[in-house]
Structure 1
Amino acid sequence: MADVQAQLQALSEEYQKLQQELQTAIDSRQKIEAQRQENLGVQKEFDRLKDGESIYKLAGPILLKQDKVEAESTVKGRLEFIGKELERSEDHIKEIQEKLEKKKGEIIQAQAGLQATGAAPGKAAVKA
């Protein structure tokens, strides 16, 4: 029975680690999505520009004039990269969620095994 309780404790700790990993992955995905939204906003601004208007890029404390085609190309490239990162991030989140579900099933089985031995989790069995 002590083995089952130790196994249950280990499974519980692994489950908590997976939950933390999932939260970290979700936070990362949210940051990537924020970058995507920012770049989409920049792309919309480019669409509003009239011919002959200047585009400036902030490089440190200096504003540098930039060619519109080059700037649009840079933003388009960023959006493609961000799209791939979002896809990778979502796949990672799904993978962690699947691991969590599997671990949850293992915990339920361990709890059932512990209950089958006649003791509730955290209580010692009484021998007659």
Structure 2
Amino acid sequence: MSSSSTALRELQRDLENKANDLSKLQKDIAKNHQVRKKYTIQLGENELVLKELDLLNEDANVYKLIGPVLVKQDLAEANANVRKRIEYISAELKRLDSSLQDLEEKQHSKREAILKVQQRIQAGKAKA
């Protein structure tokens, strides 16, 4: 009887560890979603800026806000900077999507592992 109760305690500990791991994964997924949302907003803003820059004539004055100061900037340079920023943000979004997919797969496997341990605990209680 004591060996079965020891095995049951081990299973309970294993279940707690897996549940803690799952909780950490869920926090990582939530953080990933927050960062992804921020990048998505930035991407939208930069695409809007690019559209505005495309509407300007080549001789138009373009200013960039640096701290509290507006600094005159060449239109071609501003265009290139915004395109680079869009490229960077898009790459980050792809990286975050890949990371999110990986985290969700880990979360799925943790849930399955937890389910198996719970079933073993139920079977152990049924025998006792």
Same fold per superposition (TM over 0.5): yes
Q: Secondary structure at the match of 1:118?
A: helix
Moved over 3 A (4+): none
1:29 correspondence with 2:36: yes
Note the C-alpha offset of 1:51: 3.8
- RMSD of the alignment, in Å? 1.3
Note the C-alpha offset of 1:56: 0.4
The CA distance in 1 between the partners of 2:80 and 2:54, in whole Å, is 13
Match of residue 100, structure 1, among 81, 89, 107: 107
1:2 correspondence with 2:14: no
1:77 correspondence with 2:84: yes
Note the C-alpha offset of 1:49: 1.4
1:112 correspondence with 2:119: yes
TM-score between the two structures when normalised by the length of structure 2: 0.90
The more displaced of 100-109 and 48-57 is 48-57
Q: Secondary structure at the match of 1:50?
A: coil
The CA distance in 1 between the partners of 2:44 and 2:106, in whole Å, is 30
Give the residue type in structure 1 aligned to 2:60.
Answer: E
TM-score between the two structures when normalised by the length of structure 1: 0.90
- Structure showing the higher helix proportion among its residues: 2
Note the C-alpha offset of 1:70: 0.3
Note the C-alpha offset of 1:88: 0.3
Note the C-alpha offset of 1:34: 1.0
Q: Unaligned 5+ residue runs, structure 2?
A: 1-7
Note the C-alpha offset of 1:50: 2.8
Once the two structures are superposed, residues 4-34 of structure 1 have per-residue CA deviations (whole angstroms, 9 ceiling, x without a partner) of: 1111111111101100010001111111111
Give aligned pairs, total. Answer: 121
The CA distance in 2 between the partners of 1:94 and 1:9, in whole Å, is 24
Identity %: 34
Give the residue type in structure 2 aligned to 1:28.
Answer: V
